[in-house]
Every structure is written in C-alpha cells, then in structure tokens.
Amino acid sequence: MLVASILSAITDAITHAIGDYGLYAVFLLMLIDAVLPAASEVVMVYGGALASGAFASEVVLFGRTIEEGLPAYLAIALAGTIGYTIGAVIGWAIGLYGGRPYLERHGRWLHLNQEKLDRAERWYERWGEWATFLGRLTPVVRSFVSVPAGVLEARLGRYTLLTLLGSAIWCFAFAAAGYVAGANWETFHHAFRYVDYLVAATIVAGVAYLALRYLRRRRRRLAEESPGA
C-alpha cells in the first residue's frame, strides 16, 4: 500500500534524525510542523522515549550531555514547544505580509487552498482568538492554523501566548507518553496511526494535484506555441 510505505519512510526518517541530532532535530521538525505537517506526534513520542534512556542515543545540547530521565524529558518537551512556537510566528508573518490574495495564488505550496482558508476563517469567527489554542490541540488541523491566523490579522501577542500554551500541552503530553512507553513507544504511536495515514494521504494528494496541474499547464502552453495553433 502506497500510503503505508510513505508513512513508514516518514517515521523512519524522523526517528533517525532524532536519534542522530536529538534536541536539534526535535526543535527543527516542530518548527516546520507549525506551518506544514511534519508528524509532530511521532517527533514528540519518540523524543520522549529517547529521553527515558530506552535507546543508545543521548540527549545533547551544545556538546553537553543531558542526564536521561526527567532532565532529558524536560529538554525534549521544551525544544518541541519552543520550536513550534517560533514556527507558528513565522507562519503568522507569512499570512500577514503575504495577504489573502497571495495565498489564494500560491497557497498550494503550503497545502492551503481557498477551501481551507475559508474553513480557517469560519473557525476563527466561531471561536475568536481561542481558535488558536484549540487548533494547536487538534491533530492535523494544528499545522494549518498559523498562516490563516496572519491572513486574518490575529493579534501577535495573544496569538503567540495561546500558541505557546497549546503547543506546550501537546509537546509535554506526547513526550510523556513516549517517556512512559520507552522502547515500546510504537505501541502508543500505532494507536494514533489514523492521524499519520491522514497526513501521508494529504501529502500524496497534494503532490499528485501539483503534478497534474503542472502537466495541464505545460500541455496547454505547448498547444498555444505549436505552429498549427
């Protein structure tokens, strides 16, 4: 199954990155996840398992090894929280300064189309500023909150605070689950596999859509440039 293969490849790439680069990988992957889906659940659960000492890899920061157990757990959870919050502010800035017209033309590169922008707008109209906080706790949706928040001109201070709170709950909770599960972290991960499948399916659908759109434009351009046109 294509989606299953892609999911497995994504999970392997993430776990290898965290195993090799520890806190730096957690920070960067969560920063990316604030704008584009980067399997934040896998990142934090595996990071928590790493902090528990379940694997040979160590948690290192600026060349200094952080003791496994609670210190390593706190470091992993904080790296995820801070990385995600910074990424969310970057996404907000893209939306604010790019504006809705720009996103309507180029939002496909951020997996944002007209329908998703309209949905995000209704989400904010219903929940107000708390839509940011609730969005950060909702699987998959959490990666599509940042840019629309900028488009809708959410106040940066309140937006950042609510993002920080929501991402902290997410990161500390999932890292704790991985910490408790240890080497059996995949047991917990499999309980949320439907989220991973949805993320992978979204990526596959997005790539297929862009490829089809490119081929259609190229075929149309060639037809217009042909002598017999």
pLDDT digits over 60-102, tens only?
Answer: 887 788 888 899 999 999 999 999 999 999 989 988 887 667 6
Q: Point out which residues pair with 65 in neighbouring strands.
A: 60
Output phi, psi for 69, to 5 deg.
105, -145
Read off the pTM: 0.71
Please name the amino acid found at residue 133.
F
Extract the tokens encoding 100: 């809705």
Q: Which residues, in sequence order, are CB contacts of 107 under 8 Å at separation 6+?
A: 113, 116, 117, 147
Every domain of the chain and the residues it spans: 2-225
Confidence label for 164 from pLDDT (cuts 50, 70 and 90): very high
pLDDT on residue 3: 45
Number of CB atoms found within 10 A of residue 109's CB: 10
Q: For residue 39, what are the CA distances in angstroms to 33, 160, 220?
A: 7, 21, 37
State how far the Cα of 194 lies from the Cα of 208, in Å rounded to an integer. Answer: 21
